[in-house]
Chain A
């Protein structure tokens, strides 16, 4: 269903993708895993015809993404990384508009829209304007949009980011359930998430596929906890440093706005996560993401 052969994409002197080849069978679910800047989004943008590769071929549903862009577009549902949506529209109106645009027959439109609203648990917010929804809901609206015309191929860029703890499993389940009827390729930076959903996991590093490393033990043995937290940066660093078992706190990449991205290096075998939660609760810091480090999450950034 998706066949990628020696795919390359250069942005000037930067090679975002380099000799990438893989194949996804019809009805299969595959995940692209890699750190920031690994090239995941670039693969999906090429497959969704948004950008053309500089080398190699990509074929979706038997159509070349460069030559037969329109045929490819007819058969794909694409969820962009940052989930752009028309904020001025209501959820149902947006989905109806998109269904119409994607050629869902008039008679089926209402039914399809209701179906994806149910699938993506959007009941209750259908009449809200998209701009007023939270990120998580917006992501789900984007997902609903990708699904609304029952595309043969689904290309989902970071579908789980921004969802709350309850939603993540639900979306995982949803993606899992799409297998068979749809061919799904989604990206994530979390290997466990990928492994939780599908068997075909493609590891991407600096634009190349790498053979999957053996699963890492699920303890903080490797010595790091990745944390996204909101609050006063100074206070946070001080507070965490003071926790027993913490060796040091590193800033991991740029924070967005008031969110700070930290990597906490701990003593081997020491799990400081319960202490962290307690600390955050005490100071009313908000934790957005917390996970055990595997490899280096910000290798390329």
Chain B
């Protein structure tokens, strides 16, 4: 160990006490910096995606490849030609120590060289680039895979340097071997070992390198690269020892050792692929399945076969495959199968015979009773129509998870619950695309949750249909008809489920009904002071309004609906307040007939309930107005608690003092989860509660004029220039001293 350290230090000295190492660093930084600068100029980005932007470039990896080859080609070959190799080989050092020291020396230099390029996000932030935040996860993932791949390159380079006296051959050899391994992607064993059915190797570097740099960590490439690197280094040691003999029998020994090592490595690779770990290192858990999907997977009891029929060249092959693998990791009853239609047309025929529409790329979900096919072209099509939610940075693909989860629900849930939307009193319509007053988006989302939605016009019919799993009254603008009111009251009394979204300033006629259920709907609207007082004041100066009608819900109640939504941004539009009568909270379990009321969300202290609808701008009047906090959403339950009594079903109501929050223009983010979760709780679909899949992170930005110049100068001239200058100083200093 001590000798290893001595040799290692010597390697570092060679690089850093002579100008050569700095010049190499300068070249590396210049090439990769220019590339990054060019990419950053070209489009929008945010700070957390910089590693992924850089790592997605083939050119960058060519630079890494060339740098590693340059660092390793001299390692042994140079000492051989200079004869100093004999100095090492006659000192009491094991060949393994020499190889390890040479390898570590080059690796250390490489790490030091590439640190500046990984520090670019910090530099940009210091320059005032405000696009998003730096995310340590992707950065760490990028560093990890860069050093890991670099280590493998360097191991191969070290071996080649051991095999020849010529630095040029060692360098070109390393470039070629590494290049072939890296750019041809998958090792040949991929098809040889796992031809049929087995776990295919995920060794396509273009794929995993990108994933690591986006914060998605996979143990398999790490282990394969590590085993491969160790094998290569082992071979290097053997080769050095062999060079003393150069006899036939020794060559035979070497060959046998190599075959043995190769066998052990293959075993390791297979084990690594059987037992692997995936990790999501992003701060926003961008690549993790949503809680909702996880819950659905966990509660699944039926066996579901998921068949991914896709050519590996398909645009989002890797992303979707990774996504499905996560499904597999969390769904014990899920069985994944990968089918390449070109290689396995027979399997495709089989699937077609089972009613799966696999004429093109598709994912088939098959339970014992049902089959559902997601055609990937359609998926991408729908995504691009909706403004590109299928973000290239989000390997899971927001829409993909939604769609897959919906398909899972569809094949596992025997009946599709029917939800009626009351119409005829100015309620928001399901097929209305209006951004402020339309529920078409919500309707699509709910349908993907495996619900059937029907509008309900009561008219003469004075009864809620018996197949109604729930009733939604979304933002009526006039008073409800008498027969409707009776029907609703009657419906609730026979364990009905009601989602009531009622806006401020409207008299619906449901007031007295609700009071029977323990909640008073107040005739007011919540006005709040913006949380950021400074910004608010500035706005106030400009517009003459010191208040905002958007209410950010920060106080969410402890309830199955809102519990999982803590911390999410939910905004209501000047909601009305609700007052629970006779105390809030759950009463003793014995009082079956008394409604249990839970506050789902309240307006905060900074807001008040304004009773004067005419006042502009609204102003807090202590006599008439009430200060926050005030409840704006409540859940009501009467009867046996959910799962306890099987025969008796409880009545459930969710009342929210605003209907706009679920409209097309606002239903993104946490709003849709509030709406969806409320409905799922009403339907006792506990397995589907929780936030839906979403894309975390912030809006990408484009660099502004001064920043552009700064970034360009720093990356192309500054970083490499520093290294160059340092090298010149070192050279000058050496000459002096």
| Binary A-proximity of B1-24 (CB < 8 A = 1, otherwise 0) | 011001100100010011000000
Give A40-58 interface residues, CB cut-off 8 Å to B.
48-52, 54
Contact at A101–B7, with CB atoms within 8 Å?
Answer: yes
Given A49-B244, A50-B244, A102-B92, A97-B86 contact (CB < 8 Å)? no
Contact at B7–A85, with CB atoms within 8 Å?
Answer: no
- Given A52-B245, A80-B86, 8 more pairs with CB closer than 8 A: A49-B90, A49-B244, A50-B90, A84-B84, A84-B87, A101-B7, A101-B93, A103-B3
Residues of A within 8 A of B245 (CB): 52
Say which residue of A49, A52, A54, A80 sits within 8 Å of B83 (CB atoms).
A80
Q: Does B247 contact A (CB under 8 A)?
A: yes
| Binary B-proximity of A272-301 (CB < 8 A = 1, otherwise 0) | 000000000000000000000000000000
- Measured in the bound complex, the distance between the Cα atoms of B245 and A52 in whole Å is 5
| Chain A CB within 10 A, most for which of B84, B87, B94 | B87
Say which residue of B85, B91, B247 sits within 8 Å of A102 (CB atoms).
B91
Residues of B within 8 A of A158 (CB): none
- Measured in the bound complex, the distance between the Cα atoms of B93 and A88 in whole Å is 22
Contact at A145–B6, with CB atoms within 8 Å?
Answer: no
- Measured in the bound complex, the distance between the Cα atoms of B3 and A102 in whole Å is 8
Q: Does A82 contact B (CB under 8 A)?
A: yes
Given A50-B244, A97-B6, A101-B6, A86-B90 contact (CB < 8 Å)? no
Contact at A82–B94, with CB atoms within 8 Å?
Answer: no
Contact at A50–B86, with CB atoms within 8 Å?
Answer: yes
Residues of B within 8 A of A145 (CB): 87
Q: Does A226 contact B (CB under 8 A)?
A: no
Say which residue of B14, B89, B92 sits within 8 Å of A103 (CB atoms).
B92
Give B466-502 interface residues, CB cut-off 8 Å to A.
none
| Binary A-proximity of B75-108 (CB < 8 A = 1, otherwise 0) | 0000000111111111111100000000000000
B500 to chain A, nearest CB (A): 82
Instruction: Return the chain A residue nearest B735 by Cβ.
Output: A129
Instruction: Return the chain A residue nearest B6 by Cβ.
Output: A100
Residues of B within 8 A of A70 (CB): 92, 94
Given A50-B244, A101-B6, A101-B7, A78-B90 contact (CB < 8 Å)? yes
Residues of B within 8 A of A82 (CB): 83
A15 to chain B, nearest CB (A): 15
Say which residue of A50, A54, A73 sits within 8 Å of B92 (CB atoms).
A73
Give A54-96 interface residues, CB cut-off 8 Å to B.
54, 69-70, 73-74, 76, 78, 80, 82, 84-86, 88
Instruction: Return the chain B residue nearest A81 by Cβ.
Output: B83
Given A49-B89, A54-B247, A74-B92, A101-B3 contact (CB < 8 Å)? yes
Residues of B within 8 A of A135 (CB): none
Q: Which positions in A face B, CB cutoff 8 Å?
A: 48-52, 54, 69-70, 73-74, 76, 78, 80, 82, 84-86, 88, 97-98, 100-103, 145
Contact at A73–B86, with CB atoms within 8 Å?
Answer: no
Residues of B within 8 A of A52 (CB): 244-245, 247
- Measured in the bound complex, the distance between the Cα atoms of B131 and A298 in whole Å is 78
B102 to chain A, nearest CB (A): 14
Residues of A within 8 A of B18 (CB): 88
Contact at B90–A48, with CB atoms within 8 Å?
Answer: yes
Residues of B within 8 A of A100 (CB): 2-3, 6
A8 to chain B, nearest CB (A): 12
Q: Which positions in B face A, CB cutoff 8 Å?
A: 2-3, 6-7, 10, 14, 17-18, 82-94, 244-245, 247
Say which residue of A78, A85, A97, A102 sits within 8 Å of B10 (CB atoms).
A97
A97 to chain B, nearest CB (A): 6
- Measured in the bound complex, the distance between the Cα atoms of B245 and A169 in whole Å is 38
Q: Provide the main secondary structure of the chain A interface.
A: loop
Contact at B86–A84, with CB atoms within 8 Å?
Answer: yes
Q: Provide the main secondary structure of the chain B interface.
A: helix
- Measured in the bound complex, the distance between the Cα atoms of B6 and A82 in whole Å is 25
Instruction: Return the chain A residue nearest B5 by Cβ.
Output: A100
Q: Would you give 16 A-B contacts (Cβ < 8 Å), ordered by A? A: A49-B90, A49-B244, A50-B86, A80-B86, A80-B87, A84-B82, A84-B83, A84-B84, A84-B86, A84-B87, A85-B84, A88-B14, A88-B17, A100-B3, A101-B3, A101-B6
- Measured in the bound complex, the distance between the Cα atoms of B87 and A80 in whole Å is 8
- Measured in the bound complex, the distance between the Cα atoms of B407 and A234 in whole Å is 96
Instruction: Return the chain A residue nearest B242 by Cβ.
Output: A52
Residues of B within 8 A of A88 (CB): 14, 17-18
Contact at A50–B89, with CB atoms within 8 Å?
Answer: yes
Residues of B within 8 A of A69 (CB): 244
A80 to chain B, nearest CB (A): 5
Contact at B91–A73, with CB atoms within 8 Å?
Answer: yes
Residues of A within 8 A of B7 (CB): 101
- Measured in the bound complex, the distance between the Cα atoms of B10 and A88 in whole Å is 11
Contact at B87–A98, with CB atoms within 8 Å?
Answer: yes
- Measured in the bound complex, the distance between the Cα atoms of B385 and A123 in whole Å is 82
- Measured in the bound complex, the distance between the Cα atoms of B182 and A266 in whole Å is 70
- Measured in the bound complex, the distance between the Cα atoms of B274 and A295 in whole Å is 74
Residues of B within 8 A of A74 (CB): 92
Given A80-B83, A84-B84, A73-B90 contact (CB < 8 Å)? yes
Residues of B within 8 A of A103 (CB): 3, 92
Say which residue of A54, A84, A86, A101 sits within 8 Å of B91 (CB atoms).
A101
A98 to chain B, nearest CB (A): 7
| Chain B CB within 10 A, most for which of A48, A69, A74, A85 | A69
Q: Which 9 A-B pairs have the closest CB atoms?
A: A84-B83, A74-B92, A78-B90, A73-B92, A84-B84, A52-B244, A52-B245, A48-B90, A101-B91
Residues of A within 8 A of B6 (CB): 97, 100-101
Residues of B within 8 A of A85 (CB): 84, 87
Residues of B within 8 A of A54 (CB): 247
A226 to chain B, nearest CB (A): 26
Instruction: Return the chain A residue nearest B247 by Cβ.
Output: A54
- Measured in the bound complex, the distance between the Cα atoms of B6 and A98 in whole Å is 9
Residues of A within 8 A of B86 (CB): 48, 50, 78, 80, 84
Residues of A within 8 A of B247 (CB): 52, 54
Residues of A within 8 A of B3 (CB): 100-101, 103
A92 to chain B, nearest CB (A): 13
A171 to chain B, nearest CB (A): 20
B664 to chain A, nearest CB (A): 71
Instruction: Return the chain B residue nearest A103 by Cβ.
Output: B92
A61 to chain B, nearest CB (A): 12
- Measured in the bound complex, the distance between the Cα atoms of B31 and A222 in whole Å is 69
B265 to chain A, nearest CB (A): 27
